[in-house]
């Protein structure tokens, strides 16, 4: 091997090219300070929830002012349960009502109806959807609006021999506004009560 043709350069002694425990301690302290400052300045966790597109601007439709599509003759109707919520996310709440004929005895079947305000805004509420018709021979055990969906506990009968005052089948039902209509999700298995 041939010796280098370049002359040896005389370089000054560079103290910073040698490490000592003091250098490592200073580096570790500086890194810890950077991590601590980054932790303090970090934004809060992100959430996937979206705010309602419009705040509610009107009162919910009044069930007492509504006319329901039930043929009860002279006995009239009775609202057994109701719930309120903005089901179609338009900023105006709807009212969900469980309604049956006001019979003096027995337990007539219920219907579940969705009410919205009149188009003019000053008339009686309108029934815009029937979720359960009385012809389905169901009673409503619970009714709620949760997260933009209507949930209900429906009580029914396993056969025509079961007394109408003692339903023996219970199922959970859920409806959500999709594509311009209320869609019922697959019901859970009906259970005997």
- Neighbour count for residue 193 (Cβ, 10 Å): 12
DSSP 3-state helix, strand, coil percentages of the chain (rounded to 5)? 15, 35, 50
What pLDDT score was predicted for residue 118?
Answer: 82
Cα 116 from Cα 95, distance rounded (Å): 7
> What average pLDDT does this structure show over 41-65?
64
17 vs 80, which has greater pLDDT? 80
Residue ranges of domains in the chain: 63-192
User: Is a pLDDT exceeding 60 seen at residue 15?
Assistant: no
Is the pTM higher than 0.75? The answer reads: no
């Amino acid at each position: 091997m041939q010796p280098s043709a370049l002359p040896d350069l005389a370089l000054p002694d560079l103290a910073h090219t040698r490490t000592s425990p003091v250098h490592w301690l200073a580096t570790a302290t500086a890194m810890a300070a950077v991590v601590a400052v980054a932790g303090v300045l970090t934004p809060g966790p992100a959430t996937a929830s979206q705010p309602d597109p419009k705040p509610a601007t009107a009162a919910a439709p009044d069930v007492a002012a509504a006319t329901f599509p039930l043929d009860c003759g002279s006995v009239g109707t009775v609202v057994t349960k109701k719930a309120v919520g903005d089901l179609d996310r338009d900023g105006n709440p709807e009212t969900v009502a469980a309604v049956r004929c006001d019979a003096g005895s027995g337990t007539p079947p219920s219907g579940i109806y969705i009410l919205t305000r009149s188009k003019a805004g000053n008339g009686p509420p309108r029934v815009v959807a029937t979720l359960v018709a009385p012809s389905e021979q169901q009673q409503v055990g619970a009714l709620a609006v949760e997260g933009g969906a209507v949930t209900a506990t429906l009580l029914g009968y396993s056969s025509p021999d079961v007394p109408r005052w003692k339903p023996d089948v219970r199922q959970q039902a859920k409806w959500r506004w999709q594509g311009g209509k209320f869609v019922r999700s697959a019901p859970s298995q009906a259970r005997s009560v």
